[in-house]
Chain A
Amino acid sequence: MAEKADPFEASASAIGYVYQLRKALHLCVERHGQGIDWSVAIEAGDDIEEVHKDSTVYYQLKHRAPGVSLTDASTDLWKTLRIWAHAIAGHQLDLEETDLVLMTTAELPSGSAASLLQPVVAGCRDEAGALKALTEARKASTNKDLKKAFASFDTLTEEQRQGMVSRIQVLGRAPDVEAVGDLLLERAVTAVGHAYAQPFLIRLEGWFFQRTIRQLRARDVDAISGNEFDQVFTDYRNQFRPENLPIDEDIADLEPNLATYSDHAFVRQLNLLNISAPRVGKAVRDYMRAFTQRSRWSDENLLLPGEISRFERRLVEEWGELFDEMREELGDEAAEVAKVAAARDIYRWAMSQVQRRIRPDCDEPFVVKGSFHMLADDHRVGWHIDFTTRLMSMLEPTEATTP
């Protein structure tokens, strides 16, 4: 196949992996509707292993180009049989409690072993006929690549073979990687509506991929349980309700490079107050997180037009009241020490006491704090009573040298 054309061509395998992950996620979403008493694992016993209270399903997935058929002598079929036969011979697989599912995007030619092993509802299931076809194919084939598969098949007793075949279900013309994506999107639409389905699904897939990587790297991490999936799914869905906005974990984990921000107006505003370096560091972090998260909300059209402006207006107004009060109390003759102390009070208020939220349930603190820093960066709010003139005078030397 691809090996002959280009030995390094791996797009087919890459699609295979993505397909496996998506299909596993789709299984989770489907099972989610039926209860929470299940678990799904990738590459545990098989491509996907699904465990219920008293039964297990092993899935083998094959993603093939359109027009490919799963014949009796096909590599896909025999490699799958090899895996199962090996597990049965090694007693790793209890046929009494395990269903074996081969899911392929390929066609099942009529009369082939695979077509005879379709689920009963297809109306043509014939286990004895399928086993006969497999045995004949095994005798007729001289394919060297399948030597090991045939050997595994041969080690099984007649009874074991019958047992295995009785548990196999072949699903042909399964939805391919894009179609599974569409099915997932449909589910996402029912959960959060058309407008948010795509961003919701991106986050759910992101979590699922990360979770799977953790499971694959550290074998002690458990399979994804129905309970865990239910929690994550509900949590993401709640973030897309009208009174909430999603906070992305990658953003909540961002740690900035402080040096690149030292020239920003909001940092200079803090320097007027002699704020210590660690606290400036926190301010920069909040600024960057809020900036990134707000941009992402905008890019994904999660905000209503004017929503952020309204939020900012409220922050500015609340700040304005305190600022005017400070101006009154300080009077015209205040000493610098008193000015700084008053400014630090306002800054403390902005960082810890402001109750405003962009939406009622979006309670992540960095949104308010970072938004204040963004406003401070635009000189729309400030902490020091003379912040406007002080910031201007800081700019002057640079401007004076520019012709």
Chain B
Amino acid sequence: MSEFVNLSREERALYNPAFTAVLTARTVQGHRTQFGQPCPVALAVLGAVMALQPAVRDRLPRNTNAGVSRWVEENRTVKVAMTQNATALAAVVRPGLLFALQTTLLSCTDQGLLNLPTGRLKKVITGPTEEVVAIQKAAHMLGRWLPSTGSMSTVMTLLGVRP
């Protein structure tokens, strides 16, 4: 997908930069809760991309104890969905990430890692519809969970995508 004005109305509503900005921030927030460290850019984008897909979101495990590789193995449709949708979704998530950085919702360290400045995003996840809440919760969960398996490159290889 190219410029925002060329998106259809439906897509402009769902993939607007303000919302995808919040999603990247939710992933960063989740990452910090679990690991207490700044979050890699690739993870912030990946978390948002995965959270936006119902086929992935609905299959996420309940807690972070589950192994990522086993989960991918057991839910083969996840990989299929990622292959089909990840490129298009990354194209709408990236402007969101930029927007988050421009508006200092997120900040970037010298090493190129992402931080969520204190007080910029409430911990309680709310939203006008159930879907909006569910997507944010999924992004938060992915931030906490995805890196638990090892390096980012392992996770991405498992999911069949690359940054």
Contact = CB atoms under 8 A, between A and B. Distances in A.
Interface string B1-30: 100001111110111000000000000000
A312 B8 contact: yes
Interface in B42-65: 52-55
B118 to A, nearest CB: 33
Given A304-B88, A305-B92, A306-B1, A195 B54 contact: yes
B84 A301 contact: no
Nearest to B15: A305
Contacts of A194: 55, 77
A374 B88 contact: no
A122 B48 CA distance: 53
A309 B6 contact: yes
Given A195-B54, A195-B55, A305 B10 contact: no
A306 B88 contact: yes
Interface of A: 194-195, 294-295, 297-298, 301, 303-306, 308-309, 311-313, 374, 378
A297 B6 CA distance: 19
Interface residues of B, number: 21
B142 interface: no
A297 B54 CA distance: 13
B100 interface: no
B52 A305 contact: yes
Nearest to A291: B9
Given A195-B54, A195-B55, A298-B14, A305 B85 contact: yes
Contacts of B88: 304-306
Interface of B: 1, 6-11, 13-15, 52-55, 77, 84-85, 88-89, 91-92
B90 to A, nearest CB: 10
Tell which of B10, B52, B91, B92 has the most Cβ of chain A within 10 Å.
B10
Nearest to A375: B8
Contact of B85 (A294, A297, A298, A304): A304
Given A294-B9, A306-B11, 14 more contacts: A194-B55, A195-B77, A294-B10, A295-B10, A298-B13, A305-B15, A305-B53, A305-B89, A306-B1, A306-B88, A306-B91, A309-B6, A309-B7, A374-B9
A311 B10 CA distance: 13
A309 B8 contact: yes
A272 B134 CA distance: 46
Nearest to B57: A301
A123 B13 CA distance: 60
Contacts of B13: 298
B85 to A, nearest CB: 5
Contacts of B84: 304
A73 B11 CA distance: 61
Contacts of A312: 6, 8
Nearest to A303: B10
Contact of A308 (B10, B85, B89): B10
Nearest to A316: B6
